[in-house]
Chain A
Amino acid sequence: MAKYKYNVLVCGGTGCQSSQSALILENLKKEVAACNLENDVQVILAGCFGFCEKGPIVKIMPDNTFYVGVKPEDAKELVAEHIIKGRKVQRLLYVDPETQKHIDDSKHMDFYKKQMRIALRNCGFLDPENIDETISRGGYEALGKVLTTMTPNECIEVIKKSGLRGRGGAGFPTGTKWEFASKSVNDQKYVVCNADEGDPGAFMDRSILEGDPHSIVEAMAICGYCIGANHGLIYIRAEYPLAIHRLQIAIKQAREYGLLGDDILGTGFNFDIELRYGAGAFVCGEETALIHSMEGNRGEPTFKPPFPAVSGYLQKPTNVNNVETFANIPIIITKGADWYSSIGTEKSKGTKVFALAGKINNVGLIEVPMGTTLREVVYEIGGGVKNGKKFKAVQTGGPSGGCLTEKDLDTPIDYESLAAAGSIMGSGGMIVMDEDDCMVNIAKFYMGFIVDESCGKCTPCRIGNKRMYEILDKITKGQGTMEDLENLKYLAEVIKDTALCGLGQTSPNPVLSTLTNFWDEYVEHVVDKKCRAGACKDLMSYQINPDKCKGCTSCARHCPVNAITGTVKQPHTINQSLCIKCGTCKSVCKFNAIEIK
């Protein structure tokens, strides 16, 4: 990177790409070429910068200027002003919502202030398709160190000492997992990277794979060395074409540089990686199901033990780690276990990446030290709830997690605290909900997801979760009884206790946590037949406030079922028996006269 005067980095995260960042890249390149600046200015598509809310983002180095909300047509101005004239384009800078001041450096933005980027250390700082840039930022240093100066056991000790725990959700100590696999005696072992990120509302792994694929390649090789495996497999969602593309490039480049393949760095260690594609099954995030899927079978989990460390892929000892876990490995090796374990809390070391989304101002990808509180994440990094609405809950852990409320906001983020509060760390989805979200409906949403994604192998998950969904559906339709609530709770406990795999065992969590934290809301649905959030269609009605209605007739004209009647300039009324609750009237009313009751 050093050879250029300016490096222009365009965010290549999915969010920004969806907002035409590829065209921005193209236009910037054209402008640079048109101005004959190719030797001084490099324009690259980088990995995700994280601040998706403000995308598409363009960053200009070395002055680290952070442009937000860039459009393809802004390319000309950026080159002409920033690069040629050295003047920052004010209108594209981030505006602090409180002070209304323009901020040009991401370090000074609230969104980034409390973050600590370890797993995401390279995302947004380099061209992921160029191995030289990775190497210039210290990539493959750890692999070299491990292969030339450490024994496998020494390396495992470092990982154990660092306190790193699995970032896929369950939080099993990574070093211990490696140790199990290393102790399994077999002529063939496998290292598997679980990149089948399936949690709805989470894209951490995708961002790492797209922004820093080499860190995964490097970490897998290190793991291979430690456990005695020569073969690595990355099980990746087929729905992630860009991540697949970049991994393919990374693997090819690493081979060319002798960092994969035979006799790596002349040490006699052989290791190579191939990709396996997932095909849309959330349950394949469970390691035994993942292994069966890689073998060309239905992704059904099997009972553990035997653990994959003993009998995994093709019945050989297999170590499965998730993407984010691997992303932490190289830096732990280079900076040491003590450095890593100094970050975080007593039992949860290091940082955790979250996909912060939902009803929050700063949607994006964040990485915070363990121990950061939910409040800090929601209000400082996230900038609070969108549109000034009232905070209601934050959901962590996706379909296996729970909803936490105002009273839990000071919970420090670590495995034990989140579990104690009734949720889980999970893989890193974090969804903020506001007063317009009905918690019964949210529980139904997650249960619907589980019903869709259950493999159908064991009875509790196949039939039990279906029954839970049906009860929730009944409740949101105003047909629930108090007995249903009791049954729901009872069934949830039995499913937790009897389901075969992690998916089934945790599937009742969203229901249990909402039953605990929002019992009143459930009771309201059942007894009063009311949904306070106005989300359950069957429990609400649209009504016209005669004081606000000006009789403009807009609603009546737009109503698809002609349920609204009234004369011009007189308050209108809605015929409830005809109304299909589509909400069209509310969206077209200019006077906020339509109210949900």
Chain B
Amino acid sequence: MDTVKLVIDNKQIEVPKGTSILNAARANGIYIPSLCYLNLNHLHIENKPGSCRVCVVEVEKRRNLAPACATECLEGMVVKTNSLRVLNARRTVVELLLSDHPADCLLCPKSGKCELQDLAAEMGIRHITFKGEQSSYRKDESPSIIRDVDKCVMCRRCETMCNQVQTVGALSAVNRGFGAVVAPAFEQDLIKSPCTYCGQCVAVCPTGALTEVDNTTKLIRDLADPTKTVIVQTAPAVRVALGEEFGMPAGTIVTGKLATALRQIGFKYVFDTDFAADLTIMEEGTELLQRLGKYLNGDKTVKLPIMTSCCPAWVNFFEHNFPDLRDIPSTARSPQQMFGPIAKNYFAKKIGVDRKDLIVVSIMPCLAKKYECGRDEFKVNGDPDVNYSLSTRELAHLIKQFNIDFKKLPDSDFDAPLGESTGAAVIFGATGGVIEAACRTAYELFTGKKLEKIDFNELRGLENVRQATLDFNGTPIKIGIAHGLGNARKLLEMVREGKCDFQAIEIMACPGGCIGGGGQPLHHGNSEIIKARFNATYEEDKNKPIRKSHENPYIIQLYKEFLGEPCGELSHHLLHTTYFDKSQLDITIE
């Protein structure tokens, strides 16, 4: 590899050609503060507008200070990162940012995790020299995401995520000069935009400009209400990431501690969304087999490929962007929304609690789940099947509020009957996992044979778009997988053009799948964290005694006692849904 030699702060350094000063310095133990820059390694995208000017350094023979993030190391370059000129400039830049930033850190949800706050603290800024007008925008509270753009520093990270990575296009830089800010079209609320609530913008926002709707207060009130029975379900991806919030290494599996913590917080029953994931496989797998069967019998009207429908951001995405294809995704509800009606119709009766007194809470790696809870089709007479959802980050915060020493918690199991799950359900948390889980069941149901090799390694991985052909005892089944909505769009366009001969496609909106969800502990683009969560997910699967959804004894019992058969009438009523065309422009044509 070609390298260049340069001097940074009197230190001789050799780095690969093309390395930025910022990365060269960091790799050599020289700290340069930065703000807008974000390297999203796992997506091969760098947010590098070079615009905040916090990382400026002095490069010999250059007239102006150079942004370290956007300046490439050249042979013989002499760089100073800590001269007086640099320190003054940086400090002034941060002061300017603060001069147009509400100083309400005490009440800010990002306090303690805010990169601007960190910079101010680091530089010891105690007062703002240049006071003046402050930007003032209307606060926008969507069901999932809160935009408080008075706190926007124009780092453009959210814009990069929303446009380049997710191709959702809900956000753009608008206006110019002092009025420039990132916003949806016409500066309307997110609810009126094509936002999918994937939350990837929130996951990268350095300040409190984009945060999730916080349901912890609501939860604490419900827990304190003696008339209510509060139960909880927790998603597969939560258990491989929550530990990070308590200083544990990425990829630590904390399932047992998680169950204990939830119990200590006061949930009456601690259940697992994984149970509902197994149920999803039963419904979705059956639907796949039904469609496949018709197709193989020569019915050309049948809609294939079938697409997974577990991811609410993905559902929002195709409702907005591909409404013409909305009869293709499986009608099966997501695990969260299967858990809800089972809890409120089956479990509530079992324990003799009135539906209205049962509060179902979910812990999700996701922000779109908050929106999903509130969808009208998931309510009965206005009562939501799942009352509300908390993100992994909110749960961590809650655990800290309860003074629980998480690291020292003993392990415990989830409660029966909605807490039992298989390895197939665990892998729902990672890209490729849902389709692998479906295949484990579909294979056996389709072929009537026992699946010898449970691990479909060909479906695993972190590449953006993957495909594999599985052999269902002589029948080739072609599978497509995409994670990240930008990649999903590519597959969808192929489907729309009829250039796609897949039988099944799995889509997860967030890069990496739910393990990289918008509600997870912030990973700041560190691909090692994503990989560790990914590996932990499959590790958990491997250690499960049962690894195929249809073998989950409680699922078998549920069908026997309550539902009847997969895709049967009651299932159809409780566990399936319909999709809407949300692309309609709001224009009246005379």
A contacting B, Cβ–Cβ less than 8 Å: yes
Q: Which of chain B's residues has its CB closest to A464's CB? A: B96
A467 at the binding interface (Cβ < 8 Å): yes
With known contacts A470-B132, A494-B88, A462–B178 Cβ distance under 8 A: yes
Task: Count chain B CB atoms within 10 A of each CB in A298, A457, A496 and give the residue with the most.
Answer: A457
Asked if B51 and A457 sit within 8 Å, CB to CB, the answer is yes
Asked if B50 and A497 sit within 8 Å, CB to CB, the answer is no
Asked if B178 and A498 sit within 8 Å, CB to CB, the answer is no
A464 to B70, CA, bound (A): 21
Q: Which residues does chain B contribute within 8 Å of A300, judged by CB atoms?
A: 173
A497 to B87, CA, bound (A): 12
Q: Which residues does chain B contribute within 8 Å of A451, judged by CB atoms?
A: 177-178
B126-161 contact mask (Cβ, 8 Å, vs A): 1 or 0 = 000110110000000000000000000110000000
With known contacts A454-B178, A491-B92, A463–B97 Cβ distance under 8 A: yes
Asked if B178 and A463 sit within 8 Å, CB to CB, the answer is yes
A458 at the binding interface (Cβ < 8 Å): yes
Expressed in whole angstroms, the minimum distance between the Cβ of B204 and any Cβ of chain A is 18
Q: Which of chain A's residues has its CB closest to B181's CB? A: A456
Partner of B177, one of A452, A496, A498, A505: A452
A296 at the binding interface (Cβ < 8 Å): no
Q: Which residues does chain A contribute within 8 Å of B526, judged by CB atoms?
A: none
Partner of B96, one of A303, A455, A463: A463
Q: Which residues does chain A contribute within 8 Å of B56, judged by CB atoms?
A: 497-498
B454 at the binding interface (Cβ < 8 Å): no
Q: Which residues does chain A contribute within 8 Å of B566, judged by CB atoms?
A: none
Expressed in whole angstroms, the minimum distance between the Cβ of A282 and any Cβ of chain B is 10
A487 at the binding interface (Cβ < 8 Å): yes
Asked if A459 and B178 sit within 8 Å, CB to CB, the answer is no
With known contacts A456-B177, A497-B64, A467–B53 Cβ distance under 8 A: no
A303 to B51, CA, bound (A): 9
B474 at the binding interface (Cβ < 8 Å): no
A302 at the binding interface (Cβ < 8 Å): yes
With known contacts A470-B133, A491-B92, A498-B65, A463–B100 Cβ distance under 8 A: yes
Asked if B70 and A498 sit within 8 Å, CB to CB, the answer is no
Asked if B176 and A459 sit within 8 Å, CB to CB, the answer is no
Q: Which residues does chain A contribute within 8 Å of B96, judged by CB atoms?
A: 459-460, 463-464, 467
A499 at the binding interface (Cβ < 8 Å): yes
Q: Which of chain A's residues has its CB closest to B176's CB? A: A456
Partner of A456, one of B70, B97, B175: B175
Partner of A460, one of B49, B88, B93, B129: B93
Q: Which of chain B's residues has its CB closest to A483's CB? A: B129
A97 at the binding interface (Cβ < 8 Å): no
Asked if B180 and A455 sit within 8 Å, CB to CB, the answer is yes
Asked if B89 and A497 sit within 8 Å, CB to CB, the answer is yes
A458 to B93, CA, bound (A): 10
Asked if B179 and A491 sit within 8 Å, CB to CB, the answer is no
A313 to B133, CA, bound (A): 37
Q: Which of chain B's residues has its CB closest to A306's CB? A: B72
A472 to B178, CA, bound (A): 16
A281 to B92, CA, bound (A): 27
Q: Which residues does chain B contribute within 8 Å of A452, judged by CB atoms?
A: 177
Asked if A487 and B129 sit within 8 Å, CB to CB, the answer is yes
Partner of A494, one of B67, B92, B99: B92
Asked if B89 and A494 sit within 8 Å, CB to CB, the answer is yes
A470 to B133, CA, bound (A): 8
With known contacts A467-B99, A497-B64, A498-B64, A462–B180 Cβ distance under 8 A: yes
Asked if A496 and B53 sit within 8 Å, CB to CB, the answer is no
B52 at the binding interface (Cβ < 8 Å): yes
Asked if A303 and B177 sit within 8 Å, CB to CB, the answer is no
Partner of B53, one of A470, A471, A500: A500
Q: Which residues does chain B contribute within 8 Å of A500, judged by CB atoms?
A: 50-51, 53, 67
Partner of B65, one of A281, A459, A471, A497: A497
A453 at the binding interface (Cβ < 8 Å): yes
B85 at the binding interface (Cβ < 8 Å): yes
A481-493 contact mask (Cβ, 8 Å, vs B): 1 or 0 = 0000001001100
A496 to B85, CA, bound (A): 12
Expressed in whole angstroms, the minimum distance between the Cβ of B206 and any Cβ of chain A is 13
Expressed in whole angstroms, the minimum distance between the Cβ of B31 and any Cβ of chain A is 19
Expressed in whole angstroms, the minimum distance between the Cβ of B83 and any Cβ of chain A is 12
A494 to B443, CA, bound (A): 67
Q: Which residues does chain A contribute within 8 Å of B99, judged by CB atoms?
A: 463, 467
With known contacts A281-B176, A467-B99, A500-B51, A462–B154 Cβ distance under 8 A: yes
A505 to B49, CA, bound (A): 17
A305 at the binding interface (Cβ < 8 Å): yes
Q: Which residues does chain B contribute within 8 Å of A281, judged by CB atoms?
A: 176
A299-322 contact mask (Cβ, 8 Å, vs B): 1 or 0 = 010110100000000000000000
Asked if B180 and A457 sit within 8 Å, CB to CB, the answer is yes
Asked if B173 and A298 sit within 8 Å, CB to CB, the answer is yes
Asked if B53 and A456 sit within 8 Å, CB to CB, the answer is no
A255 at the binding interface (Cβ < 8 Å): no
Q: Which of chain A's residues has its CB closest to B98's CB? A: A463
A54 at the binding interface (Cβ < 8 Å): no
Asked if B93 and A457 sit within 8 Å, CB to CB, the answer is no
With known contacts A302-B50, A487-B130, A455–B64 Cβ distance under 8 A: no
A490 to B91, CA, bound (A): 12
Q: Which of chain B's residues has its CB closest to A281's CB? A: B176
Expressed in whole angstroms, the minimum distance between the Cβ of A494 and any Cβ of chain B is 4
Expressed in whole angstroms, the minimum distance between the Cβ of B470 and any Cβ of chain A is 40
B57-72 contact mask (Cβ, 8 Å, vs A): 1 or 0 = 0000000110100111
Asked if A466 and B178 sit within 8 Å, CB to CB, the answer is yes
Other A-B pairs beyond A303-B50, A462-B154, A505-B64, 15, CB < 8 Å: A300-B173, A305-B72, A452-B177, A455-B177, A456-B176, A456-B178, A457-B51, A457-B154, A459-B97, A462-B177, A462-B180, A467-B99, A494-B89, A496-B64, A497-B85
30 pairs, A vs B, C-beta closer than 8 Å: A298-B176, A302-B50, A303-B70, A454-B177, A456-B175, A456-B179, A456-B180, A457-B51, A457-B173, A457-B180, A458-B52, A458-B53, A459-B154, A460-B93, A460-B96, A463-B100, A464-B130, A466-B132, A466-B177, A467-B99, A467-B132, A470-B132, A487-B129, A494-B93, A496-B64, A497-B56, A497-B89, A498-B64, A498-B89, A500-B50
Which residues on B are within 8 Å of A, measured CB to CB? 49-54, 56, 64-65, 67, 70-72, 85, 88-89, 92-93, 96-97, 99-100, 129-130, 132-133, 153-154, 173, 175-180
Query: What 9 pairs between A and B have smallest CB-CB spacing?
Result: A456-B180, A454-B177, A467-B130, A470-B132, A463-B96, A303-B50, A303-B70, A494-B92, A466-B178
Which residues on A are within 8 Å of B, measured CB to CB? 281, 298, 300, 302-303, 305, 451-460, 462-464, 466-467, 470-471, 487, 490-491, 494, 496-500, 505
